Chains A and B, each alone.
Chain A
Amino acid sequence: MLPGIALLLAVLYPFLSGVYWSFTDFDLALGQNPAFNGLSNYFDAFGLGGEGLHAILVTFAYAALAVMTQTILGFGVALLLMREGLHIRFFRALIVLPLLMPPVIATMMWRVMMTPDGVLNYMLSWVHLPPFDWLGSTSTALFSVVLIDTWIYTPFVILILLAGMQSIPEEIHEAARVDGATYLGRVWNLVVPLLRPFFIIVIVFRGIDSLKMFDIIYTATRGGPINATMNLHVQSYFTGIRSLNIGYSMAFLVVLWILCYALAFFLLRLRRGRLA
């Protein structure tokens, strides 16, 4: 039991310290001891005029866009990879490559490709489209960053859903075929319902990862232009690590933790309910 207690303490101690600091005026730059200031940080951050509400909105928008795009795209590609053949085996191996690349490196690569004179705009010129302002405009930056996230993490979705598809017994497909079900009918009425637990796993993992996304956004835009991609995690970095205002920064992180916990709690409960 002692190792268990030690482990729990090791996890809970820093976490609870962080929560406590979110109720203090802890600012490293001032060299003063933190003093309890109640909910001041939360009111400042998430009240009117604070950065918090906008950051929550960006956090949700980013996570929703990323998870939806990757789930739909991942499902489609996984279906294609269920076919047989030598080339399919080659593609199955190829598809995991983005996952093996450190996200910061991958993002820097995309950042170069997304410059006004970059390769993406050059490719658009092949089809006579005007250059696109990928990361420089407040109206497009969020989508561009989600695009980078999608390139890196869709393979994860594909791997999970492919494993799920491979676990569906061939006899069930056979029976459906005998009953005259079309390919699309089988996908919709058979594969999708049977993959439900796998979809939940994908949404839990990708959802939590996207809610607390830092490296891709920070590398691509540092939360800009203006605050167009400033999610809770990047905001807390700016206030905590850059400005050394630890108490205020922790308020953002505690709210982020609550969002992640709520998502995981809700989805895992849903999964347990379905399985039972």
Chain B
Amino acid sequence: MANEGTGWRKIDRRQFLWGVGAGAAALSLAGCGVDFSQKRTGGQNASKVKGDFSWTREKGKTVNVLFAKHPMADSFISELPSFKEKTGIKVAYDTLPEEEFFQKLRTDLSTGEGNYDAFMCGPPNNWEFATPGWSASLDEYIENPALTSPDYDLNDFYPAALGVNRWKGKLWAIPANEEGYALFSRKDVLQEAGIEAPQTWDELIAAVKEVDGKTFAGKKVDGFVARGDKTFPTIQSGYSTAFLGYGATDVDDNGKVVINSPEGIKATEKWAEVMSYAPNNVGTFTWYEAMNHFAAGNAAFFIDADHMSETFENPEASEIVGKVNYDLPPEGDAGRMGNIWLWSLGMSAASKNNVAAWLFLQWATTKEQLEKAIPKGNINPTRQSLANSRTMKSYTKDWGDYNETWQTILSDHAAWEYIKSPQYPEYGDRWALAIQEVALGKNSAKEALDAAAGDMQKILDSAKS
């Protein structure tokens, strides 16, 4: 029917809505043709930059950096004026709590906008960001004498730390902060209970049983505490010391998930046994809750990041100053072993200021800067030359054996032993869920690991298809 006034066809509400809906659907489908596999292109081609090395090569540029809230980030941020003075490059940065940090970083990288030229990252991000081409490999920068200072000395970094950030033959980030996994115990509790510091998993279980629920220094203590949250950091921190210490492996040479091997099951049973002496709500504990529980004097034993010593020895944050033993992870059937975590600095493949961003990464990880960062809480250092530096020794002088223990862990007992896959967060979360089921007594180690292994295999296979 034509409208008499305008001559237009009259449409009713229903027709209008259908029309707009169809239009939007067509647009959506057209929009879904966006190319998510496109290669990011940034600024200059790093291998083609010529000339002598100069810190002021990119003078006048601005580098945008995204940091997670961490002592490492704080230590770099406090030194930014000296970076500007040295290079003429301005650094604009955002600092966010870890959870929000990862969300924002993933969003920025996935859109290819390149709002951030450089960013902090953890080990799984190497494979997660490299696979879709979001992060830039750093080899061509390091190998180009025009871009890297002759005294940078990449070989000074711990091989285990560089090894984590190397994947498919390329280096994806520079390590700037390291953690291995240590057994913490309370000296006063051990002394009062008359027990020796445990060396093996069985000795640890016996000691935990012995002290659990008893009162020490006026507080009833839990025998043990660790992360129990059902996300992947749980399986790569305390649990990894049992899993790897008993000689288990997550994926065999044929690409099959084998966490449910006899070694894996045995390790998980041992882990569940110590975790049964942890507080009831341990299933909600991330590193933060577990660390504070121990620092408040509420637990006798704890396995987690060795550099938590920083909190335990800080009188403003701890009730156990001077009372902590820093030991190697307990020994299993295959020896002492644990995973490793790093905070590193990486670069976006979409960065328009890639050379300036590289100069920032390089400056932040020079020996000089990493040494300046130690008294600001950025431990453990990732350069071997700093481990026994006067700065590190003086910073840890009141922490008992700490400075020897972390070095022994890093050089002899720590490595990234799990699969390096872009699907790692999903894969690790599924594994952590199984560990929580066992630790909370809801499932046997065998059943939980069998079910998880099947799901984890599907997750890995989906990346191949």
Residues of A at under 8 Å CB distance from B?
5, 8-9, 12-13, 15-17, 19-21, 24-34, 111, 114-117, 133-138, 221-227, 238-239, 241-245
- The distance from the CB of B21 to the nearest CB of chain A, in whole angstroms, is 6
Cross-chain contact of A226 among B23, B103, B436, B463 (Cβ < 8 A): B436
Contact A238 B429 (CB under 8 A): yes
Q: Give the contacts of B260-317 with A (CB-CB under 8 A).
A: 279-284, 298
Which residues 428-448 of B have a CB within 8 angstroms of A?
429, 433, 436-437, 440, 442
Does the CB pair B440–A28 fall under 8 Å?
A: no
Q: Does chain A have a CB within 8 A of B84? A: no
B40 shortest CB reach to chain A, Å? 10
Chain B residues positioned under 8 Å from A135 (CB to CB): 281, 284
B230 near A225 with CB under 8 A, answer yes
Q: Say yes or no: is B229 at the interface (Cβ < 8 Å to chain A).
A: yes
Bound complex: CA A193 to CA B103 (Å): 48
Chain B interface residues toward A at CB < 8 A: 17, 20-21, 23-25, 27-29, 31-32, 35-37, 103, 106, 110, 128, 131-134, 229-231, 279-284, 298, 422-423, 425-426, 429, 433, 436-437, 440, 442, 462-463, 465
B131, B429, B442: the one within 8 Å of A243 (CB): B429
Question: How near does chain A come to B165, taking the closest CB pair, in angstroms?
Answer: 18
Q: Indicate if the CB atoms of B131 and A31 lie closer than 8 Å.
A: yes
Q: Which residues of chain B are within 8 angstroms of A134 by Cβ–Cβ distance?
A: 281
Question: Across the interface, which residues of B come within 8 angstroms of A30, CB to CB?
Answer: 131-132, 422, 463
Q: For residue B21, which residue of chain A has the nearest CB? A: A12
Query: Are A13 and B31 touching (Cβ within 8 A)?
Result: yes
Question: How far does the alpha carbon of A226 sit from the alpha carbon of B283 in the complex, in Å?
Answer: 8
B36 contacts A136, C-beta separation under 8 Å: no
Dominant secondary structure at the B interface = helix
A34 CA / B132 CA spacing, docked (Å): 13
* Chain A residues near B282 (CB-CB < 8 A): 136
A5:B20 contact, CB within 8 angstroms: yes
Q: Can you list 16 A-B pairs, Cβ within 8 angstroms, ordered by A?
A: A9-B20, A12-B28, A15-B24, A20-B28, A28-B36, A30-B132, A32-B36, A32-B132, A116-B281, A136-B284, A222-B230, A224-B436, A226-B230, A242-B429, A243-B423, A243-B425
Contact A225 B440 (CB under 8 A): yes
Contact A225–B36 (Cβ < 8 Å) = no
B423 touches A29 (CB 8 A): yes
CA distance A115 to B285 in the complex (A): 11
Contact of B281 among A13, A26, A133 (CB under 8 A): A133
Bound-state Cα–Cα, A24 to B423, Å = 18
Find chain B residues with CB under 8 A from A21 CB: 32
A115→B463 contact, CB < 8 A? no
Asked whether B20 lies within 8 Å of A12 as measured between CB atoms, the reply is yes
CB distance from B219 to the nearest CB of A (A): 10
Contact partners of B24 in chain A: CB under 8 A: 8-9, 12-13, 15-16
- Top 8 nearest A-B pairs (CB, nearest first) are A31-B132, A136-B281, A225-B283, A12-B24, A243-B426, A16-B28, A136-B280, A29-B422
Closest to A225 in B: B283
CA separation between A26 and B462, bound complex, in Å? 11
Residues of B within 8 A of A245 (CB): 426
Contact yes or no, A34 B281, CB < 8 A: no
B109 CB to closest chain A CB (Å) equals 9
Docked pose: A226 CA to B31 CA in angstroms: 38
A169 vs B281: C-alpha distance when bound (angstroms): 51
With A9-B20, A12-B21 as contacts: A34 and B32 at CB distance below 8 Å: yes
Q: Is A9 in contact with B283, judged by CB distance below 8 angstroms? A: no
In the bound complex, CA of A244 to CA of B20 (Å): 31
Give the contacting residue for B440; candidates A12, A25, A117, A138; CB below 8 A.
Answer: A138
Closest to A6 in B: B20
Beta-carbon nearest neighbor of B39 in chain A: A31
Instruction: List chain A residues, Cβ under 8 A from B106.
Output: 28, 241, 244
- A25 and B464 CA atoms in complex are apart in Å by 12
| B27 & A224 in contact (Cβ 8 Å cutoff) | no
- Report chain B residues within 8 Å CB of A27: 462
- CA distance in complex: A12, B27 (Å): 10
How far apart sit A115 and B225, CA to CA, in the bound complex (Å)? 14
Closest to A221 in B: B284
12 additional A-B pairs beyond A8-B17, A16-B24, beta carbons within 8 Å, are A8-B21, A9-B23, A27-B462, A31-B131, A34-B32, A117-B298, A135-B281, A222-B284, A224-B230, A226-B440, A242-B425, A243-B426
Provide the residues of chain A in CB contact with B279, threshold 8 Å: 116, 136
CB of B229 within 8 A of CB of A17, answer no
A138: chain B residues within 8 A (beta carbon)? 440, 442
Which residue of chain B has the shortest Cβ distance to A134 in the bound complex? B281
Contact check, B21 vs A136: say whether CB atoms are below 8 A apart. Answer: no
Q: How far is the CA of A19 from the CA of B106 in the complex (A)?
A: 22
Contact B20 A242 (CB under 8 A): no
CB within 8 A of B35: which of A24, A29, A33?
A: A33
Contacts of B36 in A (CB 8 A): 26, 28, 31-34
Cross-chain contact A225 with B423 (CB below 8 angstroms): no
A243 and chain B: residue at smallest CB distance = B426
**B284 — which chain A residues lie within 8 A by C-beta?**
111, 135-136, 221-222, 224-225
* Contacting residues, chain A, for B429 (C-beta < 8 A): 238, 242-243
Q: Is the CB of B37 within 8 A of A28?
A: no
Contacting pair A226 B426 (CB below 8 A)? no
Contact A28 B433 (CB under 8 A): no
**CB pair B20 A13 closer than 8 Å:** no
Nearest-Cβ distance from residue A6 to partner chain B, whole angstroms? 10
Q: Which residues of B contact A238 (CB under 8 A)?
A: 429
How many Å from the CB of B201 to the closest CB on chain A?
Answer: 24
- A116→B440 CA distance, assembly (Å): 15
Q: Closest CB-CB distance, B167 to chain A, in whole Å?
A: 14
